[in-house]
Structure formats: C-alpha cells, structure tokens
Structure 1
C-alpha cells in the first residue's frame, strides 16, 4: 500500500512533504512559475525587513526624543501664580519629600539675543546651580569642551555645540547676551548688554537644545533678568538718596526669585496620580504643566505617523502575498495531470489541499525568515548604514535640522517583530487556501481525459 493510501495519523504525512518539496524545486519547463515564486519570496522578505527597520527607527526616534526632552525638562514644570517666586528654597524640599518624586530643580529663564564673532541669534538663557546639574545626568555628562566644576563660582556660560558653531566661538571666547528688559532711564528702557566667557560647550544630540539654549549659574541669571528685590533689613531706617553703595549693601538684603521649578518623577507616566500630592505638598498655589500636555501635539503626530507607516508598508507584504496566489494557480494548472494521477492512486482531496498549502506557506515562511534576518541586521546598524550612504552619495540623509536628532536611533521591539512575522505568515497561509482548494476539486477522470 502506497503512502498516499495509508491512514493519515499525522496532520501532514511524509508523502505530502515530499510532493510539496518536489513542486518547489525548479524545472526547465516550469521556469516561469519558479521565477514568480522567487519574486514572491523576495517581495515578502523586502516587506518584512522594511517593516521591522521602519518600526524600529520610529521607536528609537520616539524613545530618544523622550529621553532628551525629559532629561532636561521635568515631568512637571511648576510656575507661581504671583509674579515673584521667592520662597522656592523652602518649597523644593517639601515637593522632594513626596513619594514618587525623584528631584526638583529651580531655574531662572528668559529670552535674549546672543552675539559671537560677527554673528547673532535668538537664544533661551537658563540659570541653574551646580547641585541641580548633578540631578540631570544627561546634561552633566554632555560637556565636550570644559566642565561644570565650580559652576556656581564661575561667571561664564555653557552653550550647545551647534550654537557655538553658529556664533563662531569656543571655550575661552566671549558671548554677548542682549535683552530688551534692561535699565529704566528717563528716556525709556535701555537694553541690557552683558558679555560672558564661554566655559562649557555641551552636545546633547538634540538640535533644539544644542543650538538654542545658553546656561549660566543660577544667581548670575537671576541678576541678569532682575529676578530679585532689595528689602531694608529689620530695624534699619531708609537711607538718603545720596547713600553710598557700601551703605546700601549693609542696609538692604537682596531676595532672589526664580522662574519656576522642574519636577522629575520616578515614573513619567504617573503624572495624573502625582499632580494632587505635589500641589498639597508645595503648600502654595502653583500652576503645574506636565510633559504630556506640553508635547501632546508632537507625540500625537509621531503616533499617527507610526500607524500610517505600518499600514502603508504592510501593503508591500500584501502585494507579495497576492503573488503566492498567482504562482500557485499556475502551478495547479501545470500539475493537473499529476493531481489526477495522485487521486487515482488513493490521495484524498484533503491530502492534495495540504500539499499545495504547504507549497504556498513554504514560500511565505522562507520570505518571512529572510526578511526577519535582514530586518534585524539593518535595524541594529541603522546609524552606521545611514552614515555610510550619506558619505558615499554626498547627501545628508535625515538632516538633524529637520529630524531634531544628530544620529539615526533604532530600538527594536520584540513584540512588534513577532507581530510582523505572524502577520506575514498568516497572510501567506491564507493566500495558499484558494489555489489549494481549487487543486482539491479537480476531477481525476476529466483531468486525465483533457490533460
């Protein structure tokens, strides 16, 4: 008794595997069908690899942006309701005592014009003390020239690498900071112009920070933006108008304020649960702006783009899968005589259907496997490949001015890879069903008569 007529104790018999493998091998008279099968396999491989690479790059892009943004800007930014925030030093330990709060940083910030060697550009000037810099490892480790040692005692500034290039300055050079909110005179408000040496050049890898921010010691920024008031010491009389500077310094106490507080949490996604405890711990009315609201439009656009790209690139796999149908239909037409002979030898319709299902699924499996390997290799070397292609063709791919980051990040998600592979395999199997069903419906008598 032949294998075809033996009882089937397994889902797929050795006989069915043998016939399916024979149909997959190329023969001279079946060259056209084999070419279509090879193109189908290649198309599935390209589709799977492209999906894995694009999704990995978009995941890396989002994760890198999130790390950079939240590495410098807090998960909450707290602003006072009144104009001056003078009690910030007493508020900081209260907020840091809340469970789930990692660090609280005070900052003084304002807009200004920075001038270097014959060049000028708008910047955001932010004051921060050395103790708080150590609470931000991303920023503390970003110095490429100079360093943040003795930062509070220095009278200089830290600027980003791209800003330094734009202004034509480096460590040791001077930068002039100009703000229109200067000294009030009888003729109006005179702009405030101060020159500071460049002590640190940092590079965070994000264009927005590397080309726009100027950092300086907190007290220096408070003095520059006039975030202070002079209060007469208790028990002293007001001084006459002709008092000397020494008398003023002895009689008045300078009280500084800040623009706001950056609050860092242990879990960035816990902002909804942390808002009320932070408000209560602060003990004063404050406006809390969270990172999701500040960047809602940006990250929503990234999510929409991610979904759209997945749908569009899935079409590559879908088109390749349709080629499985066409190649199997032609194979079934070519093998109608063989099918009739197998049926007369005792092969059941289910056996014939399984043979052609295995043939189509094998093409999809091989294409998916090759695409998986290629996708993982390409995604893990995305930046190296981008740099090589850019150098070879002389064109900058993914310019940082457009994509915010100076390198092309990639982060492969195992669940997404598993979904892509499963998606391709399921489509390949589904595409094999109709041709296999058609093959199983052949009448052996008619096939042998007209074959």
Structure 2
C-alpha cells in the first residue's frame, strides 16, 4: 500500500468514504454519525435564523422608535419654549439635522361608545407630521391634507380598532388638567373628528398615539403659545453625538438636550443581552453535536482496529491513518455546517412566508401582534455573523476529530493484530 507523502491522497478519501457508509456491523456508529450531522445542521440553521430575527428586531424597533420619536430632544431651562419657531429654524441650519419639530405632549383618555383607552396626545403642525415617514407615509384611512385647520385628529390603527371607529367618526378626549374652579380642577372634555388613521407597524404606538393640530393642542392643554419639546431628526441616528455637540455650541438660549440612546438605553441593552445569551445557548447545540462526533469516531476506531493494523503492516504511515479519520470526522462537520448554512439562509429569507404557511396549517396566529412590539416578524441577515457561525461550527467539528484520529494513528499494529 502506498504511504503517500502528499496530504489527503485519493485512497484516504476513498477509505474515509467507505467508513461513513452504513454497514450492518457498523450500524450503531452510522447512527451516531447521522445524529452528529443533524445536530450540527440544526445548530447552525437555528443560530442563523435566531440571530437574523434578533437583528431584524433591533433594526425594526430602532427604525420605528427613533423614526417616530426623533433622535435629539430639546427642552427649555429658563422659560417656556414660546419662541419655538425661531429655535426650530435655528436648529434646522445645523449640519446633519434633517428637520426639527415643535411638539406639545400630554396624556388623555380616548373614549367612544364602544370603548376607551389611555393615549398620548401630540400636538404637531401638518407639514411636520407629513415629514415623518412612519406617519405621513403610512396613512391607511382618511388624509392629513388640511390637518392644521380641520380641527380633527389622527389616531393609530390599533386604537381605532379598540374604539371601533374609523376616519370620519368622532371620539372624546378627557384630560385631567382642565379649568380651575372653586371646587377644584375640572377635567377637560372635548369631541374630535377622526381625520386620518395611520399604521406605524409597532403595536404600542398604533394603540396609544393621537396627533392633534399644534394650535389646538396648545388650547386643549392650556399652554400659553409654547411647546413641550422640540424633536430633532438627524441624518444618521448612530452619530447623534456630533450633532448634539453642534447644537450645544450654537444654541440660541439655554437648553437641555437628551437623545434616543439615553431614553431607550435600558430597552436596547436588554435586547442586546438577550441576543448574546441566545447565541451562547444555541452554540451549545453545535458543541453537543461536535461531542457526538468524538464518541462516534472513537467507536469507529475501536471497530476498525484490525483494519488499522493491516494498513500499518502494509506500509501506511501514522499520518495516513490520522488523515483518514480526520477526513471521516470532518466530513460530518463540514457537510452538516453547509447544510445548516443553506437551510438557515433560506429560512431567514422566507420567514414571513413560512410563518403564514404554518398559520394556515395550524389554524392559529403564531405571531399575535397584540402581545408583541411589532406587527410582523422581522429578519435581517448579517453576513459577518453568518460567517462567524460557519467558522465556529467548522472549528468545533475539526477539533472534535483530533483526539479520535490521534488515537487511531497511535495504535500499535502488532498488539492490535494480537488482540484481534
């Protein structure tokens, strides 16, 4: 038999392939190899799918939370923001600022004859409301045209469903901060027609946001021609600090600044922790599958003791035996990893279609938006993460083959034949 100085000679591949094929005597070994293959495939696939969904969650939540609430929030220190027009125009001139929106914010109770619920009322000008893509570009019923002078309001789709109303109907808004009387503060109650119904795609926002013309909100909440806050939208949400520094340097009056990272720090930190924990937990699946490769190869080496001894007496080197079993174990890991990569990418790219099919088969809603932040399950594949998962699975698989292959190469052919 040729010893072969060239690494991974043809007969080594041939012999490794024969060891991987099922035979009656080695049926149990082949079963272990099959479970190892399935474990690595499912581990890699699950890692890719879960990490893609977590990436999609972060992107969608960031886009919607920041896209609706702004990136930098400007509030006054010394006196109310009654000069908001001048301040907003000054902020718009700063490089990196897309637009600055003066807002009046207040809480109220929205009520119709079919139900009621707490809402966040935001007073805003028509042009500013239309400039926010997640609002102006997602009107499902009605229109925002003439919003400033209509005296109407715009509400979220889930709030409209909860109150059983639509564009053209009316609802009442109750505010605890009303007019002062000798008997105390009377709540403010007013009926507003619904001019538009929007759908952001984030359950919490669609169920609680009510937009009102700015001048009407000032009158409703009893403000003296001032606003609560100016929301600044920037070109790049991940680079708010440079814009924030420019605003502080060019502010026309003393102002307090905060940004979306400060307001949502705990939320996105929790999301990042959950993402890392899921990666560690799912990596254990691949690790367990790699350990199955170790046990399967050790059993294969024990079963092939006589074959190894015969090869050695015919001139095969220890390196040849080592490479045969390296190929045998690595083949399981490599093929399992590639199969998991293919299935994971296909699943992540078609997760909405797969979910719709499962909903149709089971007759149930597996993704109920009323108990989740988002209306649809998102998925964004990060190819750097995919590469990391693939490399990790390949490395674990190759490491798992080293000890059994080394043990096979160290067998003494004379003693092995004597024992056989």
- TM range, smaller chain: over 0.9
Q: CA separation in 1, counterparts of 2:26 and 2:183? A: 94
Q: Residues 298-337 of structure 1, C-alpha deviation per residue, up to 9 Å, x if partnerless?
A: 0000000001111011111111111101110111111111
1:38 pairs with 2:34:
yes
2:323 counterpart of 1:327: no
Q: State the alpha-carbon separation in 2 of the partners of residues 349 and 410 from structure 1.
A: 48
**Count of residue correspondences:** 420
Residues 316-363 of structure 1: per-residue CA shift (max 9 Å, x gap): 111111110111011111111111111112111111111101110000
Residues of 2 paired with 1:175 and 1:370: CA distance?
A: 56
Matched residue, 1:123: 119
Q: Deviations over 1:414-441 (max 9, x none)?
A: 0111111111100000000000000001
Q: Is the 8 A contact 2:130 2:137 kept in 1?
A: no
Q: Contact 1:368–1:424 at 8 Å: present in 2 too?
A: yes
Q: TM-score, with normalisation over the residues of structure 1?
A: 0.90
Corresponding position of 2:384? 415
What corresponds to 1:445 in structure 2?
414
Which residue number corresponds to residue 300 of structure 1? 269
* 2:57 and 2:379 in contact (8 A); partners too: yes
Q: 1:78 aligns with which of 74, 77, 82?
A: 74
Q: What per-residue deviation string (whole Å, max 9, x for no partner) do you get for residues 231-275 of structure 1?
A: xxxxxxxxxxxxxxxxxxxxxxxxx21111111111212222222
Larger of the two Rg values belongs to structure: 1
Alignment match, 1:199: 195
In 1, Cα distance between equivalents of 2:53 and 2:87: 41
Structure 2 unaligned segments of length 5 or more: list them.
Answer: none
| TM-score of the pair, normalised by structure 2 | 0.97
RMSD: 1.4
**Alpha-carbon distance between aligned partners in 2 of 1:37 and 1:283, rounded to the nearest angstrom:** 71
C-alpha distance in 1 between matches for 2:332 and 2:184: 80
1:358-373 equivalences under 5 Å are 358-373=327-342
Q: 1:284 aligns with which of 234, 253, 257?
A: 253
Q: Is the CA contact (8 Å cut-off) linking 1:118 and 1:167 kept in structure 2?
A: yes
| CA deviations over 1:338-393 (Å, ceiling 9, x no partner) | 11111112111111111101110000011111111111111112222223323433
In structure 1, the partner of 2:83 is 87
Alpha-carbon distance in 2 for matches of 1:118, 1:378: 42
Counterpart contact for 1:71–1:139, Cα < 8 Å: no
Give the whole-Å Cα distance in 1 for the aligned partners of 2:79 and 2:198.
32
Displacement after TM superposition at 1:116 (Å): 1.1
Task: State the 1:187 CA deviation.
Answer: 2.9
User: Which of 164, 175, 198 is matched with 1:168 structurally?
Assistant: 164
Quote the offset at 1:185 in angstroms: 2.5
Which residue of 2 is the match for residue 144 of structure 1? 140
CA distance, structure 2, for counterparts of residue 294 and residue 263 of structure 1: 14
Contact 1:40-1:324 at 8 Å conserved across structures: yes
Query: What is the SS of the residue equivalent to 1:314?
Result: helix
Query: Do the aligned partners of residues 82 and 114 (structure 1) sit closer, same or farther apart at CA in structure 2, a change above 3 Å counting?
Result: farther
Counterpart for residue 252 of structure 1: none
CA shift for structure 1 position 83? 5.0
1:26 aligns with 2:22: yes
Q: Which aligned runs of 4 or more in structure 1 are off by greater than 6 angstroms?
A: none
Residue 240 of structure 1: aligned partner: none
Q: What is the correspondence of 1:25-424 to structure 2 with a 5 Å cutoff? A: 25-82=21-78, 84-228=80-224, 256-424=225-393
Match of 1:243 in 2: none
CA distance in 2, matches of 1:166, 1:130: 25
- Cα–Cα, structure 1 residues 403 and 294, in superposed 2: closer, same or farther, change >3 Å? same
Tell me how far apart the structure 1 counterparts of residues 130 and 145 of structure 2 sit (CA, whole Å): 11
* In 2: Cα distance, 1:36 partner to 1:152 partner: 71
Shift of 1:101: 1.3
**1:251 matched to which residue of 2?**
none
Quick one: distance in 1 between partners of 2:186 and 2:16?
87
Residue 394 of structure 1 deviates from its aligned partner by 4.1
Q: Secondary structure at the match of 1:289?
A: strand
Match of 1:5 among 3, 9, 19: 3
